[in-house]
Structure formats: C-alpha cells, structure tokens
Amino acid sequence: MQTNTQPPILQTNAQPPILQTNAQPPIMQQGKGGVGQFLKNYLKQSLEIVKHPLKLLPTIVLGAIWIVLGWFSSKIKLSLPLEVVSFLTFTQGGLFGGVIGAVGGIMGKIVVAAFLNAAILPLFEKKPPFSGIHGSMRHIVDSMKLRSTSALAPLFYGLGVALLLYGFMNITQSGKNAMVGLVSAVLLIQGIGNRGGFVWGFIFSLANSSTKGKVPQFASITRFLLGMSLGFTLSAGLSLAGLHWCFWLAIPMLILGFIFSFFKKKVTNSM
C-alpha cells in the first residue's frame, strides 16, 4: 500500500461541495445571465404547464369570468353578488385610464392569475397552498435584527415602489380594484420564504444586470420585500377608504429610503 496516497475524504486540499468557496447557491445562479436571460428561462419553464391541460383550468375559468363580467358591467349595473365576484377577480382592472391604465391592468391581471394558481395548483399535488409563509415569517424576524439605521432603507424603498406599482396596476386607485394590492401583498410574503422562486430570481438577475455581478444581502432583500408587502396592503386600504394618495405617499417613502441609506447609527436588535 502506498503511503503517500490518501482516501478522497482525507485529502487536506479537497473540500466537500458545500464548503467550496467558488460554489454559488442556486438562487445566485438563477440571476447569473441578467434580467433578460432570467425572464426568457422563466417563460420557457412556465410554458411547460401547457403539457398539463388540467393545470390550465383555473386560469381559463378566471379569463372567462373577466370576459363575461366585463361585458355585463359595460351594459348593466352588476348585482351585489356579481360585484363581489368582480372585486375578488379584479375584473375591472385595465378597463379605465386609457393606454397606461390598460397596460397596468393587464399587469395586475397577471398578478391575480398568479395568486389563483398559487392557491389552487398545489392542491393537484395534494400539497397545502402558501405553505412557505411560515418560513417567510422566520426570515422577516431575522431580517429585522437591525445593526444600523441604514438597514431600514430597503424597507422604505419597498414601500415606495409598491405604492407606485399599485398606482400603475390600479390607475384610478378605485376601491373596486383594491384586490390587486391584497393579492400582491400575500404573494410577496409567500415569496420571501421561497428563495428559489420568481421574486428572488428576478431580484438577483436585476442586481446582476445593474451592479455587474454584485450580490445583494439576503436580509436587505427580505426587508425590501416586506416593505413592498406593507406598501401594497396600505395601497389597498387607501383605495377602500376612497383616498387616492398612492403616488403622493410614494415620494416621501422613497426619500426616506434614500436618507436612511446614509445613516450608520447603531440601534438595538429589538427594533
């Protein structure tokens, strides 16, 4: 037996894959090619659902509801039950506000369809929907153990961005279309716990495109997504209260985020 040979597990310069310094988690590899490449890959994966027609059923039913209720609402005043269905399905999204309102409404309808699929498709595999929310809560609690006031910047940036996006998807900021804000908030909370999903992959691909490969901190992204979730919830509440303040509130939130990003004052972990 040769004395200068060692089994692979005992070789001092060998590392198991999890300890290799040049290995990246799957989430970082998702965004490696930039936003364009990520969206291309995601669209390709999404089209795989066509091979399973039964899984298309929720989207088809939702589309039929949009068409039927949209037509009825243009002809007659909807009864209360139909008004409720219209609210829950974001039927009137994109029907007002011209071209910008139509584009924003289409984006909102995509979000609502994504929410419906997230709620129903897991049932086809006998899994509970939104099962990742428990993990999301743990990530949120960990991310709020702040070491400096500058760590609050992503939270306020998220609030401002969500207020703007809501105002785009619900251009009239009508209470009848507030559902898009509520489902967006739930999807973002769910997304915080799913680090292999669309939300994290998109953010990492965006960061890769804009910062030449610089990796953002997980805690900062969690605070940003939490801020967005709070922003969408606030936006929906404002619409339901008849207040069209989203665009006006977005500006001070973004300014606060910019200001906090310069603060380095230490704060306690209990904040």
Which pLDDT does position 123 carry in this prediction? Answer: 86
Which pLDDT does position 213 carry in this prediction? Answer: 61
Measured CA to CA, the distance from residue 174 to residue 73 in angstroms comes to 15
Which pLDDT does position 159 carry in this prediction? Answer: 97
Which pLDDT does position 236 carry in this prediction? Answer: 97
Which pLDDT does position 41 carry in this prediction? Answer: 81
Task: Extract long-range pairs of 82-89: CB within 8 Å, 24+ residues apart.
Answer: 83/176, 86/176, 87/176, 87/177, 87/178, 87/179, 88/179, 89/62, 89/65, 89/179
Task: State the sign of the Cα–Cα–Cα–Cα dihedral 185, 187, 188, 189.
Answer: positive
Domain regions of the chain by residue span: 31-260
- Would you give per-residue pLDDT tens digits along the chain (271 residues)? 444 544 443 344 444 333 333 334 455 455 556 777 778 887 877 777 777 778 889 999 999 999 999 999 888 888 999 999 999 999 999 888 899 999 999 999 999 999 999 999 888 888 888 877 878 888 888 888 877 788 899 999 999 999 999 999 999 999 999 999 999 999 999 999 887 788 888 888 887 777 666 677 888 899 999 999 999 999 999 999 999 999 999 999 999 999 998 875 444 444 4
Which pLDDT does position 30 carry in this prediction? Answer: 52
Q: Is the pTM of this model over 0.95?
A: no
Which pLDDT does position 114 carry in this prediction? Answer: 92
